[in-house]
Structure 1
């Protein structure tokens, strides 16, 4: 656990790191920067702390309630309630491990808007039907547009239907696919901006990073927490690394 004093020292170092231009690979904090004092996964604090250390982006997960409220949470079930089958009022009193209330998308975006240098890597979670997924995409893209954040928000999804709907409804947006079952060429044909695949997918298909780059696609890998894996993907020329250990990755990139 990082203390408040230690965190302030880290922030100063990270500002220096962020001002340098030699680091080609960029850092995305997985569910924010939550491995630090008073933080929690997908919390507002985790987003703010990710912004404070100067990473490229902060990844977070979005689900839709039964009454179409978009909330920030990773799991589809919370405290024995299935989120897409539960009204928001029943979820509104739930608190995270750091004592914060379960955030809704609007307040998460608002905090991000106040930290303009950080990208918000928004994952729309898969839902039980294509119709619900389409509604979720409509809700999210309308909110992002209303808040004037089209250039700050980037999208990712496991559901191919969600990806295709994002491309259809927000054609200028950056959209990457997570599921790992499609080649770079197939993603290019669909209209994706990039691939965002698990570490094991890239290690199985060692040519996909170079192939993607030749096609003009971006490459992101998740979730990379070990130094040897970080160094491997940096050497492979990956564009983005999603990690729970952003400070470690910053140190490695700084040394390189």
Structure 2
């Protein structure tokens, strides 16, 4: 009986996520998903297929406008709402029919500092890394971003954890129904990607820095497709930046969503190569940047973002700040916040 129930749960998970992947294959996208009282032009509507015109639909359509250049804008009065996001339906029409998608447009109150909490803010508070509590701690501290790691179960459900195993259990070889029973050291369940994103989307201050882990079973491309599909399904584009060690994963994210912010982690590509492949920037171990001191300035000249990981030493944190690096990923976000506030 228990085995049958687990099979049913697993089937339900797979059926749902399979639907998510299907729904996410929209031809429409935006170059930006945020607005502010001083930024009324949100971004340009883009389509993989030529469209003759775009039309705004839904209860919030009157709050927005689209011009002949397909630029989406918000009306000034709408920026004063206490709500921090609007959902807007956009339709694109051509000779073959209508493409429709719903986008979440978010009031831009995202923090602009250099602090990315590695696996959330967990160390000083004594909670568990990659937990919802560590995410919320990073938000409360005022971090620009909270980094987290995504693996996929044997039945293709995405879970948040840094290592490929939890309590000796291999995530990739274990069905979701079994993983859902596991508890983190702080008592929380092992979070799914969906639960983590939904928690992060309750605020509009801290960005969600999503690392797509490399699959040991050759499933990295499937994981990438499902991750991007889930972000799209939840309308989380305004919150999420992507990072990965697998260069093909980075390029796959850009192929699925050309306007996504994607940084490479492995450290073996020059800024010139990253620019050629249209990545957003690099997110390299500090030792790589020490060996290639010119890369920081080269990246800036190419308008690429720069990030060093995982930097915990005060003097090294200050050194990178003195070099005007864009971001630093750290297990000591409290210390880095102290330094950037001076």
The question of a shared fold, defined as TM-score above 0.5 by the shorter chain, is answered with yes
Match for residue 171 of structure 1 among 227, 245, 258: 258
Structural mapping, 1:25-36, within 5 Å: 26-36=114-124
C-alpha contact 2:208 2:241 (8 A) present in aligned 1: yes
Match for residue 212 of structure 1 among 261, 285, 299: 299
C-alpha contact 1:25 1:237 (8 A) present in aligned 2: no
Structural mapping, 1:47-86, within 5 Å: 47-86=135-174
Match for residue 95 of structure 1 among 177, 180, 183: 183
Partner of 1:9: none
TM-fit CA distance, 1:129: 4.9
TM-fit CA distance, 1:81: 2.2
C-alpha contact 1:25 1:241 (8 A) present in aligned 2: no
What is the CA deviation profile of residues 215-254 of structure 1, one whole-angstrom value per residue up to 9, with x for unaligned ones?
1100000011111001100011100010111111111111
Higher relative contact order at CA 8 Å, sep ≥6: structure 1 or structure 2? 1
Match for residue 145 of structure 1 among 221, 226, 232: 232
What is the CA deviation profile of residues 87-127 of structure 1, one whole-angstrom value per residue up to 9, with x for unaligned ones?
11121111111111100010100010001211000000001
Partner of 1:155: 242
Higher strand share: 2
Q: What secondary structure is seen at the aligned counterpart in 1 of 2:279? A: coil
TM-fit CA distance, 1:128: 2.7
- Alpha-carbon distance in structure 1 between the residues aligned to 2:148 and 2:125: 19
What is the CA deviation profile of residues 21-46 of structure 1, one whole-angstrom value per residue up to 9, with x for unaligned ones?
9xx75100000000243521000000
What is the CA deviation profile of residues 37-95 of structure 1, one whole-angstrom value per residue up to 9, with x for unaligned ones?
35210000000110011110000000011101000000112222221111111211111
RMSD, matched Cα: 1.5
Structural mapping, 1:87-126, within 5 Å: 87-126=175-214
Q: What secondary structure is seen at the aligned counterpart in 1 of 2:115? A: strand
Partner of 1:202: 289
User: Given the superposition, is the C-alpha separation of residues 32 and 238 from structure 1 closer, same or farther in structure 2, using an over 3 Å criterion?
Assistant: same
C-alpha contact 2:113 2:144 (8 A) present in aligned 1: no
C-alpha contact 2:113 2:143 (8 A) present in aligned 1: no
* Paired residues, number: 233
- Alpha-carbon distance in structure 2 between the residues aligned to 1:66 and 1:161: 22
User: Given the superposition, is the C-alpha separation of residues 95 and 35 from structure 1 closer, same or farther in structure 2, using an over 3 Å criterion?
Assistant: same
Q: Which runs of 5+ in 1 are unaligned?
A: 1-18
- Structure 1 runs (4+) deviating above 3 angstroms are none
- 1:43 aligned to 2:134? no
Higher helix share: 1
- Alpha-carbon distance in structure 2 between the residues aligned to 1:88 and 1:69: 6
